[in-house]
Amino acid sequence: MIEIVDEAPVHTGAREALLDLCFGEERFAKTSERLREGRLPVFAYAALDAEGVLVGTVRLWSVVDRNGAQTLLLGPLAVDPSRRGLKVGDRLMRHALNQAVLHGHGSVILVGDLPFYARFGFAAGRLDAVSLPGPVAYDRFLAVELAQGHLSGLNGELTAAGALDAAGSIGLSTGLSLFPQAI
Ligand SMILES: CC(C)(COP(=O)(O)OP(=O)(O)OC[C@H]1O[C@@H](n2cnc3c(N)ncnc32)[C@H](O)[C@@H]1OP(=O)(O)O)[C@@H](O)C(=O)NCCC(=O)NCCS
């Protein structure tokens, strides 16, 4: 049985190892990373197996356009290769999107494979007035609207808007601590 839970600091090591396995070191060079580094995610979920081992991860990040209009950037999404095809990615996605709706967010954007994300309502070509702080393939720059008209209100280059990661700002890995300790 796989359970979707809120990510906790105890998951950090396994999550980083899974992302290294799925994306390699190049993950830190991605344009999306420019909107995540040094920030805390708004939502972060882990998929755990029956033994409590992390087998999947997804995070969502707050970003704003040139006028301060906010949207959520989703990613990275990854599932352990040994557990793929079991709807773990599907459950992580649906949980993440449901939480975004429940918390009143108007849209979610990501850079990824349309053939996978289309099943959740994501489409290309909805962000023509929006850019990221770096190159992005047009057909991989995807968005889904959670509140009608929200995407048409976005304009200009997106910048990071999430809470600052205190651990990251003192030189530790940015992914190290969701809940920095006062020591
Ligand atoms: C993409 C990923 C998260 C899917 O996780 P998963 O738990 O295997 O997904 P699910 O079981 O919910 O769904 C599997 C379905 O997605 C499809 N799928 C998986 N990756 C896909 C991709 N890149 N493009 C299109 N379809 C894809 C599978 O073919 C399968 O299709 P089916 O339901 O018609 O048989 C996982 O393959 C993964 O971690 N990949 C490496 C990292 C990655 O690419 N992350 C996404 C960034 S774009």
Q: Is the CB of 110 under 6 A from ligand 1?
A: no
Tens digit of each residue's pLDDT, the chain (183 residues): 999 999 999 999 999 999 999 999 999 999 999 999 999 999 999 999 999 999 999 999 999 999 999 999 999 999 999 999 999 999 999 999 999 999 999 999 999 999 999 999 999 999 999 999 999 999 999 999 999 999 999 999 999 999 999 876 544 444 444 444 443
Q: Is the CB of 82 under 6 A from ligand 1?
A: no
The answer to whether 21 and 61 are in contact (CB under 8 A) is: no
Residue 181: what pLDDT?
41
Distance in angstroms (rounded) separating the CA atoms of residues 71 and 61: 8
Task: Output the CA 29–ligand 1 centroid distance in Å.
Answer: 22
Residue 62: what pLDDT?
98
Residue 168: what pLDDT?
63
pTM: 0.93
Name the residue of 77, 84, 108, 109 whose CB sits within 8 Å of the most ligand 1 atoms, as the mutation to test its pocket.
84
Residue 166: what pLDDT?
84
Q: Quote the tokens at residue 122.
A: 């994501």
Q: Whose CA is nearest to atom 48 of ligand 1?
A: 112
Q: Which of 9, 71, 74 is nearest to 36 (CA)?
A: 74
Task: Output the CA 90–ligand 1 centroid distance in Å.
Answer: 8
Residue 174: what pLDDT?
44
Cis peptide bond prior to 41, omega within 30° of 0: no
Question: Is residue 57 within a helix (H) or strand (E), and if so which, with residue range?
Answer: strand 54-64
Q: Whose CA is nearest to atom 35 of ligand 1?
A: 85
Q: What are the two backbone dihedrals, phi and then psi, of residue 91, each rounded to the nearest 5 degrees?
A: -70, -40
Residue 169: what pLDDT?
52
- Ordered by where they begin, the domains of the chain are 3-161 (3.40.630.30)
For 67, other C-beta atoms within 10 Å of its C-beta total 9
Q: Which atom of ligand 1 is nearest to the CA of 78?
A: 39
Q: Quote the tokens at residue 116.
A: 């996978």
Q: Quote the tokens at residue 131.
A: 């850019």
